[in-house]
Amino acid sequence: MTRPVFESGLPLAPMAFHIATVEEADLPELAMLSQMVWNHQPSTLLNHMFPADKHAEMYDYRLAWLRIAFKEDFVLHFKMVDLSSNTIVSYASWDVPRPAVPDGDASDDESAKRPPKAMYPEGCNLAMIEEFYRERDRIADSHVNKTQDYVLRVLFTHPGYQSRGLASMMLRRMLERIDAERRRCYLEATPAGYPLYLKFGWKVVDEVRTDLAKYGAKDAPVELTPCMMRDASSLLPK
């Protein structure tokens, strides 16, 4: 890893990072980190979905989301900890292949994995959120075999720690397991994640089209979210 430097040009001491499984007590810190990540890197989609000024409500909403995901079976949550400050600086969650569930089984209902509507901050665009997730789930269902494939759900790195290879380390750790099992891995990419995923062997297989004009946007009427699959034969970058 390239050693980061102070503005003075003096090298920082090499940092030690550690990847570990997330514990329930980590969830508030992760919700705060997620808030920081998205405030630092605004997303066109999120800007149209959620109000910009409801920070406390957005924190509660993110925490509710994390708590639901944490209780789910067949989801792995990993954190990267900066050992010098004992703070979480990167997070990834993955769906792992699960046993087949009979048709109509509630455990297969994607909408149950999101916070109830009452948890959504006032001022958010519920119609847009519901339409986006309906379309996203429809496309994912058409590509993902839940009994066979992995899905990268979430990946983010603290803004002050980005471009140092931390997300790459998180990806590499899990992809070694996925490759050893010769499994595929699916994800939906943000603009920030897209180049990284290409480098690690994911390819675009579909896209979620969100017609923002329907929700009042004039300058960028259609937002495309790439849906990507990494085949079992993909190679990790050197």
CA distances from 211 to 97, 125, 176, 187, 204 (A): 32, 13, 37, 21, 20
Q: Which stretch binds ligand COA (CB under 6 A): 54-62, 112-120, 125-133, 186-194?
A: 186-194
Where does residue 119 fall: left (phi above 0), alpha (psi -120 to 50 degrees), or beta otherwise? Answer: alpha
Q: Which stretch binds ligand COA (CB under 6 A): 63-71, 137-145, 157-165, 201-209?
A: 157-165
Count the site residues for ligand COA by CB under 6 A: 22
Q: Which is nearer to ligand COA, 116 or 195 (CB)?
A: 195
Please give the helix or strand (H or E) that residue 206 lies within, else none.
strand 203-211
Site for ligand COA in 117-136 (CB under 6 A): none
State yes or no: residue 3 binds ligand COA (CB under 6 A). no
Kindly identify the residues of this chain, within the stretch 71-90, that bind ligand COA according to CB under 6 A. Answer: 90
Listed ranges 20-28, 44-52, 193-201, 219-227: which one lies at the site for ligand COA (CB under 6 A) = 193-201
d(CA 32, CA 55): 10
Q: Specify which residues 226 forms β-bridges with.
A: 207
Phi first, then psi: what are they for 91, rounded to 5°? Answer: -145, 140
146 binds ligand COA per the rule CB under 6 A: no
Extract the tokens encoding 194. Answer: 């897209």
* In the complex, minimum distance from the CB of residue 204 to ligand COA, in angstroms, rounded to a whole number: 13
108/114 with CB nearer ligand COA: 114
Q: Cα–Cα distance between 172 and 211 in angstroms, integer?
A: 34
Two structure tokens written together for 64 = 């509710």
* 3-class DSSP state of 12: coil
Residue 199 within binding range of ligand COA, rule CB under 6 A: yes
Q: By CB under 6 A, is residue 162 in contact with ligand COA? A: yes
